[in-house]
Copies of this chain bind each other. A is one copy, B any other.
Amino acid sequence: MSDETLIPAAAPAAAAAPATQDLVARAAALDAADGLAKLKERFVLPDGVVYLDGNSLGALPAGVTDRLADVASREWGELLIRSWDESEWWTAPERIGDRIAPLVGAAPGQVVVGDSTSVNLFKALVGAARLALPGRTKLLVDATTFPTDGYIAASAARMTGLTVIPVDPGLAAEAIDGDTAVVLLNHVDYRSGRLHDLPALTAAARAAGAITVWDLCHSAGALPVGLDAHGVDLAVGCTYKYLNGGPGSPAYLYVAARHQAGFDSPLPGWNSHAEPFAMTPDYRPADDARRGRVGTPDILSMLALESALDAWDGVSVESVRAKSLALTDFFLECVAAYVPLGKVETVTPAGHAERGSQVSLRTENAREVMGELISRGVIGDFRAPDVLRFGFTPLYVGFADAERAARTLGHIFG
């Protein structure tokens, strides 16, 4: 990852860094002025823990446990099979998709929920290959991507006759050419936290006649995405990070309205049929986003996710983004103040335009350091070989959390 911005954790000015009590007071003032601070009440968090791993598993929204009990005991236990209609189970994939749509800048009718991110990526990539211009041969894939994207891309390429070309996402615009069929990119890199330029890269792909597939796992719910505004073709994402849907909650697939009639899924399960209950031997796909559905939707997980999305009521992604940047700025400032010079390197870009909602710090013995942090009540995670990741979910993380996390890290190195 040669393009990472490495910032010394403690710049020379760190010698004049404010004392702990000043940062604690600053954090308190920032929390007091934070218009989103009260949203933390919408979550259940363990006492005494600073949770900075919402970029891996979002926290439990307050209404989910009761909703699950109702789904199990009443909708399943009492209504039984009737709930497919009466409890509106059948339409959950597109209904919940429409709840996610505004968070990723999509008009209604383009997002369906279901399956894992990997499975949706396979649908999207094969679908993209089939939408691509004739004669195009290349599938460009972010070389720094989360592994599953690369593995699934290799399978999709193998099964559609394309050739995978790994690219540095920072140089992807130059790599897109007249042979490029499909471009798969991550909006935010899972390891470094780098935010890639979705508008510019999408525009470059469109100018070259290539189809774009964006992986939004690390951006959706943390920052504006603007799928419609920027002309993205297809996108996938998970719902268990910044959308707080629960462990392994169903992922989603976005197919731009203009492509739905031509979207040719490699997984044409009966749920994607125009008339699924006609149960005809001939396949005729639905003419809308339902074309991205496959098998029977996983209702318990899906309705837990639907309940989890209530945490977004009245919340704009723009306000979340503003707080996210303030949080990560403040965390970096605290790290510079508390952590001895040279102990950590900041992997996450300093520029706001290139930063997602996480801060990644490279250090020796990162696995052990994260274990020690967790034992002291600060939960982030470790990514091989040497990265500490700290995710900032503005819905439930505050500035005092950021200060405590950095101070605890400083103590470990102190």
- Residue of chain B at shortest CB distance from A126: B159
Residues from chain B with Cβ under 8 Å of A267 in the complex: 118-119, 122, 152, 155
Question: Residue A238 at the B interface, CB < 8 A?
Answer: yes
Mark A50-67 against chain B: 1 for CB-CB distance below 8 A, else 0. 010100110110001100
Q: Is A68 an interface residue (CB 8 A)?
A: yes
**Residue A322 interfacial (CB < 8 Å):** no
Are B304 and A72 in contact, CB atoms less than 8 angstroms apart?
yes
Q: Which of A74-82, A96-104, A193-201 contacts B (4 or more CB under 8 A)?
A: A74-82
**Which of B44, B150, B246 is within 8 Å of A300, CB to CB?**
B246
Most B Cβ at <10 Å: residue of A143, A279, A381: A279
Tell me, rounded to whole Å, the shortest Cβ–Cβ distance linking A118 to chain B. 3
Which of A16-24, A26-34, A291-299, A400-408 is near enough to bind chain B? A291-299
A34-59 Cβ-contact flags toward B at 8 Å (1 or 0): 00000000001110010101001101
Q: A273-B147, A295-B116 are in contact. Are A51 and B80 (CB under 8 A)?
A: yes
Q: Which chain B positions have C-beta within 8 A of A76? A: 57, 60, 246-247
Contact with B along A146-174 (1 / 0, CB 8 A): 11101110110001100000100000000
In the assembled complex, which residues on chain B have CB atoms less than 8 Å from the CB atom of A150? 281, 283
Alpha-carbon separation in the docked complex, A22 to B373 (Å): 73
Q: Mark A234-277, 1 if CB is under 8 A from B, else 0.
A: 00001010000011111100000000000001111111010011
Task: Tell me if A72 and B65 are in contact (CB < 8 A).
Answer: yes
Please state if B119 and A295 are interface contacts (CB–CB under 8 Å).
yes
Binding site for B on A (CB under 8 A): 44-46, 49, 51, 53, 56-57, 59-60, 64-65, 68-69, 72-73, 76-78, 80-84, 89, 115-119, 122, 143, 146-148, 150-152, 154-155, 159-160, 166, 191, 238, 240, 246-251, 265-271, 273, 276-281, 283, 294-302, 304, 374, 379, 381, 383-384
21 pairs, CB–CB < 8 Å, chain A vs chain B: A53-B81, A57-B81, A60-B72, A60-B77, A65-B69, A68-B72, A89-B248, A116-B298, A117-B295, A118-B267, A146-B279, A150-B281, A151-B273, A154-B283, A191-B279, A240-B296, A248-B297, A248-B298, A250-B298, A251-B295, A298-B301
Of the residues B59, B152, B248, B379, contact of A296 by C-beta under 8 Å: B248
Contact of A269 among B80, B81, B152, B279 (CB under 8 A): B152
Residues on the B chain within 8 Å of A299, using CB = 246-248, 301
Contact B280–A147 (Cβ < 8 Å) = yes
* A305 (CB) vs chain B CBs: closest residue: B300
Q: How far is the CB of A224 from chain B (nearest CB, A)?
A: 25
What B residues does A49 contact at CB under 8 A? 80
Q: A382's closest neighbor in chain B, by CB?
A: B277
Contact partners of A83 in chain B: CB under 8 A: 247
B residues less than 8 Å from A296 (CB atoms): 116-117, 238, 240, 247-248
Looking at A44, A119, A150, A250, the one whose CB has the most chain B CB atoms below 10 A away is A119
Find chain B residues with CB under 8 A from A270 CB: 118, 146-148, 151
Q: A146-B279, A295-B148 are in contact. Are A249 and B300 (CB under 8 A)?
A: yes
Alpha-carbon gap, A13 to B251, bound state (A): 58
Picked from B56, B57, B59, B119, the residue with its CB within 8 Å of the CB of A119 is B119
Q: In chain B, what residue has the closest Cβ to A67?
A: B72
B116 close to A269 (CB less than 8 A): yes
- Which residue in B51, B80, B383 is a CB contact (below 8 Å) of A53? B80
- Sorted from nearest, which 9 A-B pairs have the closest CB atoms? A116-B295, A118-B269, A118-B295, A60-B77, A247-B299, A148-B270, A248-B298, A248-B296, A65-B72
A72 to B251: give the CA distance in the assembly, Å: 19
Contacts of A300 in B (CB 8 A): 68, 246-249, 300-301, 304
How distant is A32 from chain B, measured CB to nearest CB, in Å?
26
The complex places the Cα of A80 from the Cα of B269 at a distance, in Å, of 33
Complex Cα–Cα for A384 and B280 (A): 9
Closest to A57 in B: B81
